[in-house]
Chains A and B, each alone.
Chain A
């Protein structure tokens, strides 16, 4: 009975983790470039009371064994890097990636981080920075007298300066792709950091090797689907409930036992 209780407790714990993940997904439903997570579960070890294939009587083999499981554990929270919905903003520095690539950002401590959020702005020196003020890598500086900034699908950034007819190229946006983006570490603020699981970034021009193309004037919104998350929420809550019922049942059975005699 104690076994049933602890088994049900692992079930409740797992459902609670799933609710936590769902809550985070739902709260980021309007965060540009946010990627939803998913909690993954596996069953725990099994206690083999009788192994399959052992003999019950001489010459007779038990066809199946007797194995009792010990519950469930959360093995991973996996980021889902499916494409988010595109929202048209008309803003010149809103750039969406259509494909698997990430923008590169230089953090204040000099390290590289990666992001899908394409809501870029300019700082006081004209550098293209994130909303936190961290510059894009490679750095692109827009001259102060620029009238128009154009970003090509291949990442070419060109500006039209005041009083000039022709536009001039000022930089090239490069994207990084990872063989295993799910292995990236989320560090908050829409940033990811590379880990040994994600592999090294393959940096290059957008549009090549599955890195995806750029679209100016659009923002990639979060890839959270509210309906899906609501269904997850309901099913998780019910699963939690069923597991708590197991604890109640075990408790009732123990009460019966203690009243014996």
Chain B
């Protein structure tokens, strides 16, 4: 009897975890470059019957995975806003090492380094295809733009053709190897990183969050109902317990 209470309790906890993940997804419905988290649940063996029939009951959230589906592109007209229309990530260097991000809202810091909204330096590509060093522009020269292949170009005096300063490092990694770091960044082991051969960038656009609010609402309703059901079972089990005690 006690088992049924614990089984329904595990279902209630799983529903609670589900709500937490949905809450984070919908909170980031307007966060540029955000990728929604998907979750999967696992049931656990309770007992194995004599005729080989297994009884599974306990349920728990087993893993979360980043859904790397592309978000919609939003025009901003800002030359330093770039969105990746293909696979891959921009590389930024934070205090804890190099990180991957899909949020291409860049700017130039006072000393002429290309940085993201948090002030982390955006990395250029090294010769071997891996992430290289920071991208520096000359603060005394003209405006900076980013081309479709990731080339960072600075305009010269009087409308002459610009000079390509560096090329953005665009790396790809399997979704399993990504760890959320917050700040729209992910980290991945260096061995999991692979350079994207022909990156496809659009300048003047921002990649919107890929959270679908409709799906979020449905998940929300499902989590609430699952929880309700679990608590109902718990109540019922308790009633049965009580009745048994009355009989005794």
Residues of chain B within 8 A (CB-CB) of A76 are 117
Query: Given the complex, which residues of A lie within 8 Å of B15, measured CB to CB?
Result: 253
User: Which B121-144 residues sit within 8 Å CB-CB of chain A?
Assistant: 137, 139-143
A256 (CB) vs chain B CBs: closest residue: B231
Report how far A67 CA is from B178 CA in the complex, Å.
11
Assess whether A199 is in contact with B110, with CB atoms less than 8 Å apart: yes
A71 in the interface (beta carbon within 8 A): yes
B86 CB–A CB distance under 8 Å: no
* Residues of chain A lying within 8 A (CB to CB) of residue B24: 7, 43, 68-71
Task: Check A259 against B182 for contact (C-beta < 8 Å).
Answer: no
Beta-carbon nearest neighbor of B80 in chain A: A182
B181: interface (CB < 8 Å):
yes
Question: From residue 209 to 251 of chain A, which have CB atoms closer than 8 A to chain B?
Answer: 209-210, 235-236, 238-239, 242-243, 245-246, 249-250
Query: Which of A52, A179, A250 is the one whose CB lies under 8 Å from B176?
Result: A52
Roughly how many angstroms separate A82 CA and B143 CA in the complex, as a whole number?
12
A260-B235 in contact given A4-B19, A183-B110, A250-B19 (Cβ < 8 Å): yes
* A66 / chain B contacts, CB cutoff of 8 Å: 61-64
Q: What sequence of 0s and 1s flags, for each residue 149-171 of chain A, a beta carbon within 8 Å of any chain B beta carbon?
A: 00000000000000000000000
Q: Main SS of the interface on chain A? A: mixed
Closest to A178 in B: B139
How many residues of chain A get a CB closer than 8 Å to chain B's CBs? Answer: 73
Instruction: Say yes or no: B107 contacts A252, CB within 8 Å.
Output: no
Which chain A residue has the least Cβ–Cβ distance from B144?
A: A179
CB of B171 closer than 8 Å to a CB of A: no
Quick one: closest A residue to B140, CB to CB? A202
Shortest CB distance A10–B (Å): 6
Q: Are B29 and A242 in contact (CB under 8 A)?
A: yes
Q: A11-B27, A183-B107, A256-B228 are in contact. Are A42 and B63 (CB under 8 A)?
A: no
Stretch in A57-65, A90-98, A108-116, A133-141 touching the partner: A57-65
- How would residues 1 to 28 of chain A score, 1 for a CB under 8 Å from any chain B CB and 0 otherwise? 1011101101100110010000000000
Which B residues, 105 to 129, have Cβ-Cβ distances below 8 Å to chain A?
A: 105, 107-112, 117-118
Which A residues are CB-close (under 8 A) to B118? 42, 75
Of chain B, the residue at the smallest CB distance from A83 is B77
| B157 at the binding interface (Cβ < 8 Å) | yes
Bound together, the chains give a CA A210 to CA B176 distance in angstroms of 45
Contacts of A68 in B (CB 8 A): 17, 20-21, 24, 37, 64
Contact partner of B220 (CB less than 8 A), chosen from A40, A75, A245, A260, is A245
The 0/1 profile, CB within 8 Å of B marked 1, for residues 33-58 of chain A is 00000101111111010111000000
Contacts of A38 in B (CB 8 A): 76
Q: Contacting A80 at CB < 8 Å: which of B16, B29, B78, B108?
A: B78
B224 & A252 in contact (Cβ 8 Å cutoff): yes
* Interfacial residues, chain B to chain A (CB-CB below 8 A): 12, 15-17, 19-32, 34, 37, 61-65, 76-78, 103, 105, 107-112, 117-118, 137, 139-143, 155, 157-158, 175-184, 213, 216-217, 220-221, 223-224, 227-228, 231, 234-235, 238
A-B contact pairs, 20 of them (CB 8 A): A3-B23, A4-B19, A15-B30, A40-B117, A41-B30, A41-B34, A43-B28, A65-B64, A66-B64, A70-B182, A71-B28, A78-B105, A179-B110, A207-B158, A210-B155, A235-B30, A239-B213, A242-B29, A245-B217, A261-B235
4 A-B pairs with least C-beta separation: A11-B27, A69-B24, A210-B142, A7-B23
